[in-house]
Structure 1
Amino acid sequence: MKKLLCSISILFLAILLTGCKEKETPGDRMQTYVSNWNESKFSEMYKDFLNTDTKKMFDANEFVDRQEKLAEDLGIKNLKITYKKPKEETKWDEEKPAAFPIQISMDTIAGPIKFEKELTWHFETHGDTENWFAEWDPSFILPKLTEKDKIQISTMSAKRGKIFDRNGNPLAVNGTGYEAGIVPGKFTDETKKSELAKLLNTTVKFIDKQVNQSWVQPDYFVPIAPVSKNNQALLDKLITIPGVTYQETEMREYPYGESAAHLTGYIGKITAELLEKHKDEGYKETDLIGRQGLERILEDRLRGKDGVGIYIKSPESGATLQKVVETEAVNGENISLTIDAELQKKIFTSMKGEPGASAAVDPQTGETLALVSSPSFEPTEFMLGVSGERYKKLSEDPLKPLFNRFAAAYAPGSSLKPITAVIGMEKGTLKPEKGLSISGQTWQKDSSWGAYRVSRLHPEAPNPLNLKNALIYSDNIYFAQQALAIGKEDFISGLTKFGFGEEIPFMLNISPSQISNDGTIASEGQLADTSFGQGQMLANILHLATIYEPILTNGIMYKPTLLLDDRTQQVWKEGIISKDTAEVLKNDLRSIVVDGFAQAANIPDIPISGKTGTAELKTSAEGRGEENGFFVSYNTNNPAFILAMMIENVEDNGGSGYVAEFAAEVYKANNKK
């Protein structure tokens, strides 16, 4: 009897507690539902909150999978659903729906989406549960979306920005080329596939993959690989194969080709490594990206931003697309350089494919007018994807056409002597008119130098030897003695004033010029060597042109600029040289060409001033030294630019006079315009 009474009491208590528990209101349900929605918990939303009619219309896959897939495909982030909470004292009628105005917002790959809806709740019995359940349809995913509609995503490609020279000449532009391909119905000789694959630097497997795509029909054109419109030889070979043809297509062009290749660089297909490196920047596997030169350095500015549109596509025939959100493409920026492309081409042509580097700067502004590396390569060839065989041939070429010489640093040889003269004159230890009596072909200060001796090429130089004649005869002994008079510390200090030993303030990555490997001069012998640009001294070709500026600007050296919209006359160094010292050097640099060993540059009607230089690099097994030749020059009457040119291995071509001859060709060509 006691057990029965106990059981009745427990049952009564349970009924009592159940009756005391407050029912959930539509507001309570709404709060939990929206919380799940904001966290994209679609499974919980479907299982616990949707009303009977909704579940009859849409199964769990249609509700959950579709929203999860669209979230991924549309790049939905920051999904946020808001509504105005009802007042606590609100009375709810279970016989009537409860409606809540809601605001839905999200970010997508095509931009932000915001819209308003009304979410309706119905009081229903689901099994043993009575509660409020939501009425849902696909228009809560995107506005006006129905269960039969499909979502379409379209991309509007941004045009890559162009690169121009200072005069508006195109250096890198969006032009045209050709897409080589197959018309399957006419390509009947299967044995020709391997020949085609070799010509287009691809594989038979890739050709088969392209031809076997689902959309391909016998009379359709199937693209295989791009071909430059300048590669007529390849195009002629392709059309000899039955069924192979080509169509015009958009393509990056480099009108100045090899002459500016190391400067402009090129674009190419993005690699897996680059895709990973730029994984958060919106690149796709099919994109092109700057791979070398300015195309790579200016990638962010040139690239632009593709436009994206999200549209609703109705299954009805002829129905127009309904735009949900659309972001227009933003084309890349057009960039103008300080480079004079025609001067660049003239310099490159004058070098006749010899290995070397050149730079030209405007001495009054610091603008870089030319940066040349010779020999070079055709950038379009790399843009289209150079074959392994072709790349091997280029990389193993002893002239190293892929090596960017204007970015490197070389021993400047005697082209440094005017700078040594400046340091000595500014200190007061070098008197231009004072002559030194020097005899013989070699010299050493005393026996403490051991076996080391300074050699000179022209022992016939007249005594006493003053600065002008020392420059004309490029006398190493004279400048070695002047450097000793200056002293190691003051000589280092003087070179530092010209920017040696520090990074060159330039947008391209170029090697700095150095005084020595550690920035110090350990001995008098090293001091002597450094005075005429040997020892451990190295100079970048752009810097070499720049350090001659103070001679023409009475002491100011400008930062070299490359972008036309950069402010000109940005002072890098000033107070380097006095007006009197500058006048002496200007006169002497003209005399070097008129009376010295740069006679090849002593051309009629174009007075040229400059200094040659020869740097000995090493001694071969036969005992002959390899030499690089230099010539830094400008038009005496119209110094619109300072031209620094270096040619490698001139030991069998007349030394630095060979370089002066090349430079003279530039001035002649430039005088014709």
Structure 2
Amino acid sequence: MRFRHYSALAVLFVSVLIMLAGCGSNQPTAESRFQAYIKAWQNKNFTAMYGFLSKSSQKTISKSAFVTRYQRIYNGISAGTMTATVQKVDQQKKNAIPFKATISTIAGPVRFSQSVQMAQETRNNQQNWYVDWQPSLILPGLKTGDTVNVETVPSKRGEILDRNGQPLAIDGTAASVGVVPSQLGTGSGRAQTISKLSQILGVPAQQISDAMAASWVKADSFVPVRTVDAGNVSLIRQATSLPGVVRTSVQSRVYPDGQASGHLTGYVGPITADQLKKNPNAGYSDTSVIGLTGLEQLFENQLRQHDGATIALLNKSGKQTGVIAKTAPKNGQNIQLTIDRNVQDALYQEMKNSAGSAAAINPKTGDILGLVSTPSYDPNSFAFGISAGDYTKLSHDPMKPLENRFSAASAPGSVFKPVTAAMALDHKAINPAQSVAISGLKWQNDKSWGNFYVTRLDSSPSVNLEQALYLSDNIYFAQTALKIGGPTFAADAKKFGFGETLPIPYPMQSSTLSNSGNLNDPLLLANSGYGQGQVSVNPLHLSLIYSAFVNNGSIIKPRLIKTDVPPEMWKKNVMLPATAQLLNQDLIQVVNNPAGTAHDAQINGLTLAGKTGTPEFKMKQGQAGRENGWFVAYNTDNPRLLVTMVVENTQNQGGSHAVTPKVRNVFQRLLKP
């Protein structure tokens, strides 16, 4: 019995030892505690970091002072991502944890290696490891009482230039209009001045009063109210005629072409907190500007500048004791476009009072010469800081000036007919010289179409291809589409780039033939033959398609960035050379023939070829509805300008006849000898 008694005690003793050993293995080590500290450090959670400090360290600085000081330092250096890795620990010095850290800053990465001393302490009856804190753990070389000084060297954002070096977006000077409180007068006179300034600048009077009430404002301070275009002399003179209202010059992004290129260039604006969060290591600070729309946004990485910066340590006497990081300023890259500002302005002048879009190219090189959307907006207003009232006006304007129309796609109407003709000629579905008998002004393939008829405006009893083009006969092309057949029509459309993204660095809506991509329904096929049905075309894409008529049947590859690389074709041999040459001659008749739908675009001494279109948007056939006017035209002798223009809501303006004079004026302005 004794033997059994001692055996039981021995077993109990061994079990206790095992339990104690197990408890000991779950205790945090110095290394694991420092790893937890690193996580708080990476999150810049200074409150949590303070909780890891040893008692002796906490005696040297209060929690609020610790959090405030190091938050301010990290904000000042624009500290981004921080990584820290623990190095191999010397088993003889387990309380000394070596580590390497890297912090991204406004002046580049700060890299340092140190060893942190860990102290074992008991708190709340629990033993754990804590950090023996030194300021150098937050930045290398930092000591108690030191300050961190950040000096920046400004750089310049890249410019956006046209093909001839004319500026479209540059760093320039704007006018800051503001007030000097002591010079505003008192009482009712002061209130009257603020009220008048509010009306002139479009800024609420309360906003002006709030600006003057800021803590930094003194009686003789200049308090900025609104930044405006330095060229708006009338507004500036009107504002500064008021007592106490003055102007000063400020650096700003400037858009010399204004509304004419608004949708193309886009604009920059102050970076938001959300954007800063999404780009933690990109070198942005809370004072950075960033491209928000258009080319400014698309080419942000190339255009953006990188300011130089130096992060230095200063001792209590203000003497520099070390440089933590330093980087030189780097200007952004200039972007030179194929855009010709003269073409851009000519297009805009013709369209500025209409809703629509225009695209211009050189059909032999593929250079995009102009991209205009109207109505437009002035990107300077956004870059300077648009007022809430002005933005509300723009966003609620029924003409939708903020909508980019040249990047969209819509029904082309009869400007699509040459595409149908090219398909039919290549597949020998039609004989271009053969006259096709057409009776009356409406036609349907069979009774299965119910009450739907294809209609036309001209009543010629028979037409051949040339006549069908210059008269724009819908029935001829509906019948032609049926002769081609749905599968062939759909397959050929892909050769022209339908359903594809245009190969340029600007997002354009893809052109589509139908919602499903096929044309199995005869009625849909017939309607597609003259550019209705579900056909949707981007104006730039249509310009490229028409380039095939001067390039022996191949579509030129578009270029938006100026280059010395020779032009190349995007889509080769979409039609036979003979087809392209024939259609080129037929499209000249659309303008030159007195019966041609674009005869009012004829210019003496300058031969144009082209095609009009008037797509209809109606709920029911026979009812009145909305129409758009299209016109595509190019000069045939040494072709160097091809323009596609779309004007919306032309139902009361003669359809495409609202567009043809505008395009004619563009050619007269740019090419007429």
Counterpart amino acid of residue 644 in structure 2: A
In structure 2, the residue matched to 1:602 is 602
Q: Secondary structure at the match of 2:269?
A: strand
Match of 2:531?
533
Contact 2:553 2:579 in 1 (8 A): no
Describe the superposition over 1:154-206 as per-residue Cα deviations: whole angstroms up to 9, x where unpaired.
Answer: 33444222111122111111111011212122122441435444544545555
Q: Which amino acid aligns with 1:241?
A: L
Contact 1:67 / 1:141 at 8 angstroms: preserved in 2?
no
Q: Which residue of 1 aligns with 2:559?
A: 561
TM-score (norm 1): 0.80
Match of 1:188 in 2: 185
Task: Name which of 483, 490, 493 aligns with 2:491.
Answer: 493
Q: Does structure 1 residue 549 correspond to structure 2 residue 550?
A: no
Aligned mates of 1:197, 1:352 — CA distance in 2:
29
Tell me, in whole angstroms, the C-alpha distance in 1 between the residues paired with 2:195 and 2:370.
Answer: 44
Residue 429 of structure 1: SS of its match in structure 2?
A: coil
Structure 2 counterpart of 1:433: 433
The residue number in structure 1 matching 2:367 is: 367
Q: Relative to 1, partners in 2 of residues 1:511 and 1:445: Cα closer, same or farther, differing over 3 Å?
A: same
- 1:466 aligned to which of 464, 467, 470: 464
1:434, distance to aligned residue in structure 2 (A): 1.6
Alpha-carbon distance change, 322 to 225 in structure 1, aligned in 2, over 3 angstroms: farther
Corresponding residue for residue 107 of structure 1? 103
Is structure 2 residue 229 aligned with structure 1 residue 228? yes
SS at match of 2:615: strand
Amino acid at match of 2:360: A
Q: How many Å separate the matches in 2 of 1:421 and 1:379? A: 42
Contact 2:227 2:385 in 1 (8 A): no
Change beyond 3 A, Cα 1:396–1:80: closer
1:213-362 equivalent positions in 2, closer than 5 A: 213=214, 215-271=216-272, 274-275=275-276, 277-278=278-279, 281=282, 283-316=284-317, 319=319, 323-362=323-362
Note closer, same or farther for the CA distance 1:119–1:398 as it changes in structure 2 (3 Å cut): closer
Determine the structure 2 residue equivalent to 1:405: 405
| Amino acid in the other structure paired with 2:613 | G
CA spacing shift, 1:615–1:63, aligned 2, 3 Å: closer
Residue-by-residue CA offset, 1:22-51 (whole Å, 9 max, x unaligned): xxxxxxxx9999999988778777557x9x
Q: Secondary structure at the match of 1:409?
A: coil
Q: CA deviation at 1:584?
A: 0.6
Q: Say if 2:152 and 2:309, in contact at 8 Å, map to a contact too.
A: yes
Counterparts of 1:340 and 1:275, CA distance in 2:
35
In structure 2, the residue corresponding to 1:645 is in which secondary structure? strand
AA aligned to 2:184 is: F
User: How has the CA–CA distance of structure 1 residues 650 and 138 changed in structure 2, closer, same or farther, with 3 Å as cutoff?
Assistant: closer
Instruction: Quote the offset at 1:237 in angstroms.
Output: 3.0
Aligned to 1:258, the other structure's residue is in SS state: helix
The verdict on how the C-alpha distance between 1:422 and 1:31 changes in structure 2, with shifts beyond 3 A counting, is closer
Cα distance in 2 for residues equivalent to 1:66 and 1:512:
53
| Identity score, percent | 37
AA aligned to 2:340 is D
> Quick one: which amino acid aligns to residue 187 of structure 1?
L
Residue 463 of structure 2 aligns to a residue whose secondary structure is coil
State how far apart, in whole Å, the 1-side matches of 2:635 and 2:135 are. 76
**2-side partners of 1:495 and 1:210: how far apart?**
60
Q: Is the 8 A contact 1:362 1:640 kept in 2?
A: yes
Greater CA deviation, 371-380 or 192-201? 192-201
- Name the structure 1 match of 2:380: 380
- Matched position secondary structure for 1:534: coil
The total of aligned residue pairs comes to 614
Q: Partner of 2:588 in structure 1?
A: 590
- Deviation string, structure 1 residues 581-602 (Cα, Å, up to 9, x no partner): 1111111111221102312221
Give, in whole Å, the separation in 2 of the partners of 1:63 and 1:33.
23
**Are the counterparts in 2 of residues 483 and 527 from structure 1 also a CA contact under 8 Å?**
yes
Aligned pairs for 1:656-667 (under 5 A) are: 656-667=656-667
Aligned 1:18-37 pairs, distance under 5 A: none
CA distance in 2, matches of 1:503, 1:140: 52
Equivalent position amino acid for 2:314 in 1:
K
**Pair member with larger Rg:** 1
**Residue pair 2:181, 2:221 contacting (<8 A) in 1 also:** yes
Classify 1:34/1:350 alpha carbon distance in 2 versus 1 (closer, same or farther; 3 Å): closer
- How large is the Cα RMSD of the aligned pairs? 3.8
Partner of 1:443: 443
Alignment match of 1:178 (pick from 175, 179, 185)? 175
Letter of the 1:411 partner, please give it.
Answer: A
Following the alignment from structure 1 to structure 2, what is the Cα–Cα distance between the partners of residues 151 and 61? 20
- Tell me, yes or no, if the aligned pair for 1:441 and 1:457 is still in contact at 8 Å: yes
Q: Is the 8 A contact 2:54 2:132 kept in 1?
A: no
Aligned residues of 2:254 and 2:383 also touching (Cα < 8 A): no
Asked if the contact 1:368–1:562 (Cα under 8 Å) also holds between the matched residues in 2, the reply is yes
Q: Under a length normalisation based on structure 2, what TM-score does the superposition of the two structures give?
A: 0.80
Uncovered stretches (5+) of structure 2, i.e. residues with no partner: 1-29, 42-48, 118-130
- Does the aligned pair in 1 maintain the 2:452–2:621 contact within 8 Å? no
Distance 1:449 1:178, change over 3 A: same
Q: How far apart are residue 443 of structure 1 and its match?
A: 2.1
Report SS of the residue matched to 2:325.
strand
Is the contact made by 2:308 and 2:330 (CA closer than 8 Å) also made in structure 1? yes
